[in-house]
Structure 1
Amino acid sequence: MSKIKLGILGGGEDSLIGILHRVAANMFDQYEIVGGVFDAQHKKSLNFGEKLGLDTSRVYKDLDDLIEKESKLPDAEKIQVVSVLTPNFLHFPMAKQLLENGFNVICEKPLTTTYEEAKTLQKIQEKVKSIFAVTYTYTGYPMVRQMKSMIAEGAIGKIQKVDVQYYQGWINPLIHDKEKRAVTWRLDPEKSGISCCIGDIGTHAFNMAEYVTGMDIQKILADLNYLYEDNPMDIDGTVLLRFSDNLKGVLRASQIATGEENNFTVKIYGDKGALKWEQENPNYLYLLKEDQPLQVLKPGHSYNSDFSLEGTKLPPGHPEGIFDSMGNIYMGIANAINKADKFDGAYPKLYDGLRGMNFIEKTVASHKEGNVWVNMQD
């Protein structure tokens, strides 16, 4: 089977996310990166394309140029799927244009800057039937997928408590300096949307809570922190979650958790046991039982689910990391494009991005309306 031809928007010379996506795309030999628009400055984009060893005639000036020229190529040669790795405010117009011109799309999160934009993309995607993935990266970890499988199989019984936490401290050097916080794009609503912390990392925690439990959150109550009156964007927040009248949880997200790096922790408690996973030690899944010693599950062993093992590339004892996680998502997308889907949840879909945008807006609304319960359902 020929490789899927991949184009990339953004993710150029100094982009960490660009490296992550390129390595992930090459991991299973399913994709061939053939071109794109890597930088708003065409000269920089061309130079970067040369470094990647690409045919620079397919390093385009802008998205219009890409669509016009790629659409003229024979089906066997043109780009099939495009990864959108640009700042948040460009996600919607780029994804919309790509869908309308018949391309499959892989989009960084958050999906858009407004819920209405996300719903517009959903309507277009339902009409054109293109594959659309939103890269909630952490869903690709083998032990996250093992957690999802075990919960679905009843390993911890009926869920009765959900606790998700995502703590970082990266914004501390910026937020306390008035000049720096005024020029940081993540704190600019025009570029980042209405939320910084919840929009950036809180959506990962929200998505994970729904992903591993297989349940939709019904209502939320939020309390956000902006720290300074002239800062228009939240940088810390706590959100109470209500899946049902008897199943509740809490989501905590912060970018001012001093000293924290990327502390993303997921804890799901059932009436027969509990599961706990930590992103900074992603190869360990902890199973807790009241009448048994703590059990530690690791990737690559035969006791894991087929879903977990399908995304495990190394023998037991060899760490799987963030590149592997994103690679598993790219593999799931490739299987979908090739109509060879194997597992539900193999890649986050547009619906997951839509849920994330709804969560961002409802969280901000809950806070601004006086920390009240808000219904997540339309």
Structure 2
Amino acid sequence: MSKIKLGILGGGEDSLIGILHRVAANMFDQFEITGGVFDVSHEKSLNFGKKLQLDPGRIYKDLDDLVAKEAALPEDERMQVVSVLTPNFLHFPMAKKLLENGFNVICEKPLTTTYEEAKILNKLQKEKNTVFAVTYTYTGYPMIRQMKTMIANGEIGKIQKVDVQYYQGWINPLIHDKEKRGATWRLDPEKSGISCCIGDIGTHAFNMAEFVTGIEVREILSDLNYLYEDNPMDIDGTVLLRFSEKVKGVLRASQIATGEENSFTVQIYGDKGGLKWEQENPNYLYLLTEGKPMQVLKPGHEYNSEFSLEGTKLPPGHPEGIFDSMGNIYYGVAMVIKDKSKFKGAYPQLNDGMRGMQFIEKTVASHKNGNVWTKMED
């Protein structure tokens, strides 16, 4: 079958996330990047498109220009899916416009800047029956998929403790300088939404907790840290999680964990055993059981699940990383665009992004209301 035609919004020359998405899109030979809007400056966008050896006629001035001109093309030449890699405040209007015009969408997280916006997208996506993926990138790691399968198969028994932690230190050099923290878009509510730390990385941890366990958080209690009175955005936080009366958890997220790079850890404990995974060493899944030595599972081996092996591209002993993880999400999108019966958990859906937005808002509300338990909606 011919490759799926992919457009990209944002992710220009200086964008790390742009590189990640472009590599992921090319990984399984399922997509062909045909054009897009890479920068607010059309000239910069054209220059970048030239470097990618794209048709200048498919490098558009803005989203309206893209939608109008792509719609005028024969159906077999149009972009079939568009990736939204812009700052948070642009996710909603761009995704809404794309859905209204029948495009499939791949969107960076957080999905929107408010839960209400997320619900609008969810309703529209169902009406249009399009494919919509939210790039909670880490769900694509083979050993995370192995963890999910083992938990679903009851290999660690009934879950009784969930512990997810995501620590970075990148804001530490900025937050203590008033001028620098005022110039960072992540700390600007107009561009980032109501939350920085929870909205940026805490939502990854929340999604992961629900993804691997297969159960939803019912209530949360949060304590956030803003550090300075003139800083409107959280940069650190601890959130207690209640999945049910008997299943409890904790989510810790920080962007002022000095010296930390991208320390995302997932620990799930059942009554028969536990599983541990670290994003900075993603090819090792640790299985803990009472009275036995710790086991280390690695990708590519036949003992892994079909779900894990489907996302494994290299033989055992060859490390797979974040590009591969994002690549697995793009591959899942491609398979479902071609045949919607092939979903099987292949990528995080719009509903996952909507849950993430609800979590952000409930976390901020719990803190501002005096660190109280706050119910999540079904």
Shorter-chain TM-score: which interval? Answer: over 0.9
Match of residue 250 from structure 2: 250
Q: Which residue type is aligned with residue 189 of structure 2?
A: P
Distance 1:38 1:347 in 2: 24
Distance 2:344 2:213 in 1: 13
Quote how far apart the aligned CAs of 1:340 are.
5.6
Quote how far apart the aligned CAs of 1:341 are.
4.8
Q: Which residue type is aligned with residue 88 of structure 1?
A: N
Match of residue 222 from structure 1: 222
- For each residue in 1:15-58, what CA deviation from the matched residue of structure 2 results, as whole angstroms up to 9, or x when unmatched? 00000000000000000000000000000000000000000100
1:48-59 to 2 correspondences below 5 Å: 48-59=48-59
Which stretches in structure 1 are left out of the alignment for 5+ residues? none
SS at match of 1:83: strand
Q: Which residue type is aligned with residue 271 of structure 1?
A: D
Q: Which residue type is aligned with residue 148 of structure 1?
A: K
Q: 1:296 to 1:342 in 2, by over 3 A?
A: farther
CA contact 1:132–1:349 (8 Å) conserved in 2? yes
CA contact 2:167–2:255 (8 Å) conserved in 1? yes
Match of residue 309 from structure 2: 309
Distance 2:25 2:349 in 1: 17
Quote how far apart the aligned CAs of 1:344 are.
2.3
Quote how far apart the aligned CAs of 1:377 are.
1.3
Match of residue 41 from structure 2: 41
SS at match of 1:173: helix
Distance 1:281 1:315 in 2: 17
1:260-271 to 2 correspondences below 5 Å: 260-271=260-271
Q: Which residue type is aligned with residue 107 of structure 2?
A: C
- For each residue in 1:312-370, what CA deviation from the matched residue of structure 2 results, as whole angstroms up to 9, or x when unmatched? 00000000000000000000000110016545221000000000000000000000000
SS at match of 1:99: helix
- For each residue in 1:92-130, what CA deviation from the matched residue of structure 2 results, as whole angstroms up to 9, or x when unmatched? 000000000010000000000000000000110110001
Quote how far apart the aligned CAs of 1:266 are.
0.1
- For each residue in 1:202-248, what CA deviation from the matched residue of structure 2 results, as whole angstroms up to 9, or x when unmatched? 00000000000000100000000000000000000000000000000
Number of equivalences: 378
Match of residue 128 from structure 2: 128
Match of residue 144 from structure 2: 144
Distance 1:131 1:289 in 2: 40
SS at match of 1:274: strand
SS at match of 1:199: helix
CA contact 2:198–2:237 (8 Å) conserved in 1? yes
Distance 2:117 2:351 in 1: 13
CA contact 1:307–1:343 (8 Å) conserved in 2? no
CA contact 1:145–1:308 (8 Å) conserved in 2? yes
Distance 2:59 2:7 in 1: 9
Quote how far apart the aligned CAs of 1:65 are.
0.3
> Taking structure 2 as the reference length, what is the TM-score of the superposition?
0.99
Distance 1:154 1:356 in 2: 26
Distance 2:334 2:375 in 1: 35
Match of residue 60 from structure 2: 60
Q: Percent same amino acid at aligned positions?
A: 81
Quote how far apart the aligned CAs of 1:199 are.
0.1
Distance 1:351 1:343 in 2: 14
SS at match of 2:281: coil
CA contact 2:146–2:307 (8 Å) conserved in 1? yes
Distance 2:102 2:254 in 1: 38
1:184-333 to 2 correspondences below 5 Å: 184-333=184-333
Distance 1:31 1:182 in 2: 39
CA contact 2:36–2:59 (8 Å) conserved in 1? yes
Stretches (4+) displaced over 6 A:
none
Q: Which residue type is aligned with residue 85 of structure 1?
A: L
Distance 1:250 1:94 in 2: 34
Match of residue 76 from structure 2: 76
Distance 2:100 2:346 in 1: 25
Q: Which residue type is aligned with residue 139 of structure 2?
A: T
CA RMSD of superposed structures (Å): 0.7
Distance 1:206 1:282 in 2: 18
